[in-house]
Structure 1
């Protein structure tokens, strides 16, 4: 495998990983801010 193909393979893998991380961050944010998960107590009301 030459250097260019290796570089392309690494970049493709990084792009896939970035998409997965972005999706995980969106899911975590949606879960944390969903109205059913927001604390309802005297400190945060």
Structure 2
């Protein structure tokens, strides 16, 4: 998927992740700018 390209803002990515995975399963999204992994539970460095 190209979420890291479509959603460079980790907040937008996290919000979309919650919409995609409403059951709480993490969907990692790499934010190339921050170098962090975004999940529906928040951010981890």
TM-score by length of 2: 0.30
More strand, by proportion = 2
By relative contact order (CA 8 Å, sep 6+), the higher-ranking structure is: 2
